[in-house]
Amino acid sequence: MNLNMPELPEVEAVRRLISRTLVGAPLTDVFVAEDSLVFPRQRAAELVEVLAGACLRSVGRKGKYFWLDFGSVSLLGHLGMSGWVRSLGTGEKRLISHGKAPLDNEAGEPKFLKMSLTAGDSRVVFTDGRRLARYWLTPDGAVDPAVAKLGPDMLDSPYSAESLGVVLATRSAPIKSLLLDQALFAGVGNWVADEVLYHAGIAPARPAKEISKHEVAALADSLREVVRLAVEAEADDSKYPSEWLFHVRWGGRHGAETHLGHAIERTTVGGRTAAWVPAKQV
């Protein structure tokens, strides 16, 4: 089954949440779990020493990476497949992959807690049940090598039809595979790619260089619109348009066999599951 792993809209929602809850005040309490997978470059004690008392200046993002800028140092993060960030006491925003189980344990603490940052009355927690998220200290998150290798961010620097045409013109890989290439489409993941292709009317296995000029224009428009609407909804899928494939694409108990009267196919393209509607995508 596909999981609703964090993609650009979800990571942007996390960036905005941290920005409105922690920016401008010193961290009065910092907890970091000892986990060499989630925190591969610094031990928990070092992270606590650096962050405790520090004042968060801003929160940046590019693609699926985000960073907390404390001035002389940044905390750079990637949510992986199941990492998440919540502000306690402000309601539960969850992904499809979280299911319906409580996010907190019987003691009221977040399950799978990896880090907790508190400033004043605001406490933001970072969780990950599968230990695939990554966080590390870096001098400047905006120029860290992990961020520097990314291509254009699909919210901040979307392609025009003309520039997208240049990107696709000589590439024979399936268009779905290219959309997932972070060196070309930073922030696009599996569900965003499927949604974009559905609205553009393009089958996921089509070789990129065979897409017509008219289709490239539709793809550029769809990419901008899907990302824009998902970000405006702060990744709350209950606010996504009812006609979006998102609501039925997942398969299993989360999905369906048809969408608006047309059969949904779930096939593998470039090693990833693609959900698409052959009656609407050619």
Q: Show which residues are catalytic.
A: 6-7, 64
Q: Which residues pair with 59 in a beta bridge?
A: 68
Q: For residue 45, which phi and psi values (nearest 5 degrees)?
A: -60, -40
- Supply 145's token pair: 């090598």
Query: In what order do the strands lie in the sheet containing 84-87?
Result: 29-32, 113-119, 122-127, 84-87
Under 8 Å between Cβ of 117 and 30 = yes
3-state secondary structure of 117: strand
Under 8 Å between Cβ of 17 and 91 = no
- Supply 121's token pair: 């009355």
- Supply 150's token pair: 């990314």
Task: Please name which of 176, 157, 186, 185 lies closest in space to residue 281, comparing C-alpha atoms.
Answer: 176
Under 8 Å between Cβ of 79 and 129 = no
What gap in Å lies between CA 229 and CA 279, rounded to an integer?
24
- CA distance readout (Å), 82 to 79, 95, 146, 209: 7, 9, 19, 34
